[in-house]
Amino acid sequence: MKPPRPASRPPSRPGSGDLGEQSATDAAAARLSPARRVLAVAASVTVAVLVPLLGTGLVVDESYEIRLPGDGAIALLRAVLLAALCVHVGELAGVRLARRVAGASAGLPRSWAVRAAWAGVAAAVGQLLLVAGSGSPVAGLSGPALVEAYATRPGLLALLEANAFLLAALCATSRRPGWAVVPLAAIVFGEALRAHPEPYTPEIGTALTLVHLTATTLWTGGLLHVLRTRWRWRHDAAAGREVLTRYARPAALLFAAITATGVCSTLRRLPLAEVFTSGYGRVLLAKLVLVLIVSGLALVARGRLRREAAVPGAATRPARAELVALAAVVLVSAVLTAVPLPPAPL
């Protein structure tokens, strides 16, 4: 008979476990007043809405390029869809990781999968209406316009993604929530087809985007769920440290995949002469800067993680900052999809 593993599960009720090991960061968060929490959430939502809604027009007008119809609304809907995809995919990966640490009976944070899936449905339907209305969602409510939208590539992909998110929501409410990985994989593939592949070898561009988006959703959504799990297990420092450690190992591979595919896609799609003169190039540079910030915060968090045996919760603050920077990357990526492309290199 095997001896029980130490720290195999988090304590089931507050007050048990190593209460003296609760980090100062978690204690400060617990003392945050409800009013400040509401203000923080409101400010975050405002920024998350304004960046995609106004960012596209700012970068395009600066370079005197022709704006796409409804580009701000497109970027906002794309941001919601990408965020919903990250949350749902990250939860599936995070739950599996947490159960490896603490077993099937582990206390997990409340699921956000259903809400994320419905947000994805709304974003996909909104994009379908924009396609049908040529940038105006109100005009897209007419029946003939919707029928015509189904015949276009963007309209068909939006319809398929709305149905896939709906199926993912149904899976999340069933006894087999892990089955949602199938419709979510279809959404990732659809997003890879929707992206801007090279006109001469689109299959290579699609494959690069597929790997890039998969790694991004796992990194961003996985970190979100791991941090929520650490907060749920805040009275068991050993279990919280273990779940973040197990996440950090594959995260390095995800970062390598994101970097490699991002560089290859950029070199294949964006002429070097257009990097600073086009709106697409400037948004891409902003994304690159954010990725560098994320990588630095990730290194700091991993370095502090090694000291958590002596200083519990030392890696929590840089990991949260890493998550905020990753959220900014998602917003900038949404803006990038609504910016007109520069001429493809010959």
Q: What is the per-residue pLDDT across 89-98, written as a single tens digit (0 to 9) for each?
A: 999 999 999 9
The DSSP code for 313 is T
User: What are the φ/ψ torsions at residue 310 (nearest 5 degrees)?
Assistant: -95, -35
Query: Can you tell me the mean pLDDT for 304-319?
Result: 81
CA proximity to 118, closest of 164, 64, 51 = 164
Give dist(CA 132, CA 223) in Å, integer.
Answer: 36
Give dist(CA 80, CA 249) in Å, integer.
Answer: 28
Q: Which of 51-55, 109-113, 271-275 is least confident?
A: 271-275
- Tokens 């540079």 appear where? 285
Q: Is 343 helix (H, G, I), strand (E, B) or coil?
A: coil
Q: What angle do CA 41, 324, 277 make, to 5 degrees?
A: 115
* Per-residue model confidence (pLDDT) at position 64: 63
Helical H segments across 173-201, by residue range:
181-194
Q: Is 102 helix (H, G, I), strand (E, B) or coil?
A: helix
* Per-residue model confidence (pLDDT) at position 62: 66
| Structure token pair of residue 326 | 């990753």
Note the pLDDT tens digit of each residue in 208-256. Answer: 999 999 999 999 999 999 999 999 988 888 888 889 989 988 888 999 9
Contact status, residue 66 vs residue 339, Cβ threshold 8 Å: no
CA proximity to 71, closest of 339, 342, 287 = 339
Asked whether the predicted pLDDT for residue 188 surpasses 70, the reply is yes
Query: Can you tell me the mean pLDDT for 37-47?
Result: 85
- Residue 270 CA, chain-centre distance (Å), reads 24
- Helix (H) or strand (E) holding 134, with range, is none
Asked whether the predicted pLDDT for residue 120 surpasses 60, the reply is yes
Contact status, residue 140 vs residue 128, Cβ threshold 8 Å: yes
- Residue 204 CA, chain-centre distance (Å), reads 23
Read off the pLDDT band of 117 (50, 70, 90). Answer: very high
* Per-residue model confidence (pLDDT) at position 140: 53
Contact status, residue 88 vs residue 116, Cβ threshold 8 Å: yes
Asked whether the predicted pLDDT for residue 85 surpasses 80, the reply is yes
Asked whether the predicted pLDDT for residue 107 surpasses 90, the reply is no
